[in-house]
Every structure is written in C-alpha cells, then in structure tokens.
Amino acid sequence: MFLIKEIKRVNGRLVTNFFPNETRTSVWIGQKELFYEPGDECQFFFRRGMGFWYLYFSSTGTEKLNAALEDLKGRLKDIIVVDLVGRSEETESTGKILEYQGFRHYETLVRMSLNRRVRTGPAGSDDEVLFARVEDAVQVHDFLVNRLDKYSEQIATPFELASASAGNQLLLMKNDNDICGLLYFEKTGNTSHLKEWLVDEKSRGMQTGSKLMKKYFSLCSDCTRFILWVKSGNEPAIMKYIHYGYATDNLVDRIFIRNL
C-alpha cells in the first residue's frame, strides 16, 4: 500500500490494477509468490501462477505504463496474465496499451451481486454437505485444476484451500472418497464472496449444487451482500446465479495474456 501511495504522490494520478488485500498480500509474500520491481513512475508486481506470472502495475499515467511495458517486453519471455478490473469503459485505454504491447484479450468476467439477506429452506443433513478438512486441500486443488481455466479463474493454491478449510469456508459433498461437488467462499464482515461452486459432471441433476448453495446461504445468513465473478459467455452458470437472486452489476474483469 505504501508503494502505491508513493506513486500517486508524484502527480496525484494513478493507473493501476493492483488493489492489495493486506491479509492476502502477506500470504503471497510469506509463500514467496509475490515480487516487486521498483520504478520512479511505474512499479510492477509479479505473482506466481501455475506456470505463468500475474502482472500488476502502479503508474502515474498511461504513457509511463506504456514505456515501462515496452522495456519489460524485451526482458520477460514467460506467459504473462493481466487483469483489468473496473467499469468496461474505464478499462478501454489501458486495454489498448496492453494490446499495443503484444497482449491479447483472453476472457472477460462479469461480477454478479445480491444485496440482501437470503433465507433458504433446510440446508441438508450433515452427512450430505461437509466442511472440508485441512488434509482435503490437495484433493480439492486437483479437482479444481481438472475443471477450471488456470489463466482466467485464478485457481486457489493448496495453502489457500487449507486456510479456507481451517476457517470452515470450504464445503464438500463426496461419494466414498470422490468429490461430487464443492463450494468455496470468503466472508468479510457483512459481505460474502462466492469463489467457486462446482459439481462433478457425473453428479449433475442430483441436487448436489442446490444442497451446497443452501448450506452456503445458511452459513452466511447474517450477510447482506453477496458477490461472485463468472465468465461473461457462461450463460448456464449466469442463469443459475440469477435463479438464486444474483444480478450482474457494472464491474468487469478483462483478462489479457501474452506469450501463450
């Protein structure tokens, strides 16, 4: 946070895609996943992904960002992923700079929100929907890796999943030892962020997803704000979220990628 404030002091302007959460940033640093490259008017932050790097920047303006990216282009040959979060029109100019510097638009996520308390029926018996155990983290991570796009969906690490399990923020349904479905969420104050809600293909049509969602809403009955991100073209998922009361709002996450 201090580094970003220093950049803004140069002329009061700030172009950035780095909105650090203190707790998560501390975890990234502790796990040696986050690295910093200083600059007078443009700073870069690199975070390890699964065989690629997430790139974050903090710049005094688009011209300085363009120049810094030009310098970076000749030094980095790895796959680079950049997220631009904001209203669609607000990300246009920065997106054009990324495209000029060799990035291509890869995917767009839209944010959906539900701004009220949610009442549900029975959440399902304890033998149906279970809290994940810390030792489930690796199995859950493998389940996610086999079903999600690692470039656009920011798959949680085993460490993050173990932390979520320890905090009772990861729900599972299993058949013997196989995962049928899961729901992973974060809760901060009155806001709950639904991170992942997945059902194995063989378990669809068996109320697995519904039972997970009912349990989730039951656990977050004191929340008044619910948010999630979903691919803009994933109409089946969007319709399911609408069924539960979510609606798209005005924020998007435009994902750009280079060297893929």
Are 121 and 106 within one domain? no
Does 162 fall in a domain?
A: yes
Domain boundary (88, 110, 132) is at: 110
Does 250 fall in a domain?
A: no
Does 42 fall in a domain?
A: yes
What does DSSP say about strands 225-231 and 104-114: parallel, antiparallel, or unpaired? Answer: antiparallel
Are 91 and 128 within one domain? no
Are 122 and 65 within one domain? no
CATH number of the CATH domain containing 179: 3.40.630.30
Q: Each residue of 104-146: pLDDT tens digit?
A: 999 999 999 999 999 766 554 456 899 999 999 999 999 999 9
Domain, as residue range, for 16: 2-110
Alpha-carbon distance of 242 to 112, in angstroms, equals 9
What is the number of structural domains in the chain? 2
Are 83 and 132 within one domain? no
SS (H, E, C) the chain: CHHHHHHHHHHCCCEECCCCCHHHHHHHHHCCCEEEECCCCEEEEEEECCCCEEEEEEECCHHHHHHHHHHHHCCCCCCEEEEEEECHHHHHHHHHHHHHCCCEEEEEEEEEEECCCCCCCCCCCCCCCEECCHHHHHHHHHHHHCCCCCCCCCCCCHHHHHHHHHCCCEEEEEECCEEEEEEEEEEECCEEEEEEEEECHHHCCCCHHHHHHHHHHHHCCCCCEEEEEEECCCHHHHHHHHHCCCEEEEEEEEEEEECC
Are 87 and 137 within one domain? no
Are 97 and 145 within one domain? no
Q: Each residue of 217-241: pLDDT tens digit?
A: 999 999 999 999 999 999 999 999 9
Does 245 fall in a domain?
A: no
What pLDDT does 204 receive?
83
Are 92 and 146 within one domain? no
Are 92 and 122 within one domain? no
Higher-confidence position of 82 and 206? 82
Domain boundary (85, 110, 135) is at: 110
What pLDDT does 122 receive?
58
